[in-house]
Amino acid sequence: MNDDVQVSGWRRIENTEAERILLLAAVARQLQHPSAFRRTLPWIAVAAGIGLLSWLLQTDGELASVNGLFVLLFVSAVLGAQCLVAWGRLMRAVRAWPSAYGISMDDEGIHLALEAERSSFSWRALRALEQRNDGLLILLQDLRALFLPVRCFASRDEADAWRERIEQASGLRPGHVAPAPSSAAEAGLGQVLGDLGSNLRAGCLFALFRASAVSLLRVSVGQIILVAALSMLLGLLFDLAMAGTTGSVNWYALPYAGFGWLLTLLCAWAVAGCSPRRERVLVAVLAMASCSLVLNVPQMLSILGVSHFPSLMAYGGLMTLVLGGWLVLALIVALVRTLEISPDQRMGAVLGVVFTVAASVLLGLGEARLWVAEPAIDERADTAQDWRSTVRESVLYSQPAMLDKALASLEPGTPGKPEIFLLALAGYGQQDVFRREVDSVESLFSERFSTAAHSLVLANNPDTLETRPIASVTALRRSLAEIGRKMNPEEDVLFLFMTSHGAADFRFSLELWPYRFDELTPQTLLAALDAAGIRNRVIVVSACYSGGFVPALAGPRTLMMSASRADRNSHGCSHEAEWTFFGKAYFNEALRQTRNFEQAFDIARKAIAQREDAEGLVHSEPQIQVGSDIRPVLERLAAQLERDGPTLAVGLPRQGHIGKTE
């Protein structure tokens, strides 16, 4: 204890073991008081309300049970966290509170002189007073307590004088419990909105790493709920901007939002464990929430900008990385300042924030959309039924045999006769346009390129699970390997057509919910083609950002085409469409006019540009790369087709050829 406690105005307090047990009992009583659990009740009510609403709107019994289980786990986690917090506070009170200290009072509050530091409590921090024959028990709002024994004063009169001064300054009387700080629900509307505005200003300052942000926080359970509601409203507006006003609320996204708030609460509680201000968990939660709300605005604006201005696509990943890093740093600083964490203990804040953000990303909490576009009129009405048909046991066991049968039906190439082998792949199973495209391309090539005995279709679609092999990386590798064995490598040509959605990092979507297939990238496809020993290749990739496949797959014996530039979207991927823009222009129109693949690309590219201009869309700019050594192969193939019937040449034109050559 500091030596200056002997100065006038200070009194030395020494608590016996029995008095320390009294303090422990006082803290335990506060933990049992209903106000100690008042902060937990809104979380339980929100979880129960979300679960009940989701359950009532759920049409599928199995998913309804999942929702009920989620609510049960959520409530159990909140109650368990409350019990752990209460137990931790009780244990810290036992271990940390000194048996001897100095105490003084002034107009500001009560000051304590401990062994190595001083601490202070404002008069508003006092919660209740209890007068005992042997002293005065002071209960604080943060679930701590002080006991001032009469024996530590010069006389009982002096002890009574201290008690009277404490009563006068705090406004409390022995036996009277001070009301808990008013919540947003108890305050007037003007005060509630004023506090909300102050919290939003604090969020802006937290985002700018300003220390003054802490003083602007107005903490209450009501304010936390308001910030959460505002965050959800902001997310809803963002989803409206992305999907359009023709749509509906996605109630299934609400549990994801609730779980995100649970992660924030657990992060604040865990980091508070290495803080001298352990009682400020809700302050930390509000600081994190307000900071996240503010920094979500530029993140959403950047996504909207990229979606409406494809020229910014190249910077989309960088903006996401910069804004994500900014958010992590701002949250760490906010926790450090609100919880007053010392430099040697700040690693706890770093780990807590990194874990929370990483868990949110891995669990896909930010991908749940509160507003989804209205499905097309002819879209499947019963998604649950489609899901059940997808996971039927018969489907799981029939697929390997179905692929074996399809591969066995491929006839080998005829030596001395150049032929085309067609492999068409529809990757995304939730939209029928891709299935329709591969079906139509199979028919077209059978009619115009004599591929009936040499064609194979892989499709992800609930309607074709019992008639077509699925489109997975494994199925693609096996198919290429079998085609490679049956082709004459120097004479025959593989025409590989792939249609699906694409990503800015050049991942080609292979999706058939609820299955998860390996990712298909340009590198994966190139390795499969090389392993199959297929030398002569015509490859068409129809997807957004498919231009990213061109440099990776181009080669001397490859004719490579894509539906868009590497940084551009392609168009026409709607569920009700028969073709995408590129598929319609290249296959359904151009290849019906000519059997020359490159000439057809030139026709299709012009038609696509005209259609994009007419509909006010950013040009997709399809790409082509022509390998020099593929020309003689295609010319021999053209000559063979001419001998087989009155057809136009498949080979490349001698002059004025289109595209880039190696």
181 assigned to some structural domain: no
pLDDT-derived band at 605, boundaries 50, 70, 90: very high
In a 3-state reduction of DSSP, which class is residue 451? coil
In the predicted structure, residue 646 carries a pLDDT above the cut 50:
no
Q: Are residues 574 and 636 in the same domain?
A: yes
Highest mean pLDDT among 27-36, 39-48, 265-274, 604-613: 604-613
Q: Examine the fold and report which residue of 170, 203, 236 is the final residue of a domain before the chain moves on.
A: 170
178 assigned to some structural domain: no
- Each residue's pLDDT tens digit, 114-138: 766 777 878 888 878 888 778 888 8
Select the more confidently predicted residue: 178 or 617: 617
In the predicted structure, residue 60 carries a pLDDT above the cut 50:
no
In the predicted structure, residue 179 carries a pLDDT above the cut 80:
no
Q: How deeply is 378 buried, as exposed, middle or buried, from its count of CB atoms within 10 A (0-12, 13-18, 19+)?
A: exposed
The reported pTM is 0.46
Place of tokens 């409350």: 82
Beta-strand (E) ranges in 125-283?
126-132, 135-140, 145-149, 247-249
The enclosing domain of 407 has a CATH number of 3.40.50.1460
**From CA 580, how far away is CA 595, in angstroms rounded?**
20
In the predicted structure, residue 45 carries a pLDDT above the cut 80:
no
386 assigned to some structural domain: no
Q: Are residues 312 and 400 in the same domain?
A: no
Q: What average pLDDT does this structure show over 192-205?
A: 88
Cβ proximity of 401 and 295 under 8 Å: no
383 assigned to some structural domain: no
In the predicted structure, residue 335 carries a pLDDT above the cut 50:
yes
Cβ proximity of 653 and 596 under 8 Å: yes
Cβ proximity of 570 and 609 under 8 Å: no
Q: What average pLDDT does this structure show over 547-571?
A: 90
DSSP 46-94: HHHHHHHHHHHH---HHHHHHHHHHHHHHHHHHHHHHHHHHHHHHHHHH
378 assigned to some structural domain: no
Q: Are residues 155 and 200 in the same domain?
A: no
Q: Report CA-CA distances (Å) from 329 to 290, 323, 366, 605.
A: 14, 10, 19, 46
The residue range of the domain holding 263 is 189-373
Looking at residue 461, its pLDDT comes to 85
Place of tokens 């050829």: 657
Q: Examine the fold and report which residue of 319, 346, 373 is the final residue of a domain before the chain moves on.
A: 373
DSSP 139-183: EETTS-EEEEEGGGSSSHHHHHHHHHHHHHHHT--BTPBPPPPPP
Q: Examine the fold and report which residue of 112, 135, 170 is the final residue of a domain before the chain moves on.
A: 170
Give the β-pairing of 371-373 and 247-249: antiparallel
β-sheet bridge partners, residue 126: 140
- Each residue's pLDDT tens digit, 434-459: 989 999 999 999 888 888 888 999 98
The C-alpha R_g of the chain, in whole angstroms, comes to 35
β-sheet bridge partners, residue 148: 136
pLDDT-derived band at 571, boundaries 50, 70, 90: confident
Q: What average pLDDT does this structure show over 258-282?
A: 78
- Taking the alpha carbons at both ends of the chain, their separation in whole angstroms is 83
Q: Are residues 536 and 564 in the same domain?
A: yes
**From CA 242, how far away is CA 373, in angstroms rounded?**
9
Q: Are residues 267 and 312 in the same domain?
A: yes
380 assigned to some structural domain: no
Q: Number of structural domains, the chain? A: 3
180 assigned to some structural domain: no
Q: Are residues 341 and 403 in the same domain?
A: no
Residue-wise burial string across 533-571, b where 16 or more C-beta atoms lie within 10 A, e elsewhere: ebbbbbbbbbbbbbbbbbeebbbebbbbbbbbbbbbbbb
Q: Are residues 111 and 195 in the same domain?
A: no
Q: Are residues 124 and 203 in the same domain?
A: no
Q: Are residues 206 and 88 in the same domain?
A: no
Looking at residue 86, its pLDDT comes to 61
pLDDT-derived band at 537, boundaries 50, 70, 90: very high
341 DSSP 8-state letter: -
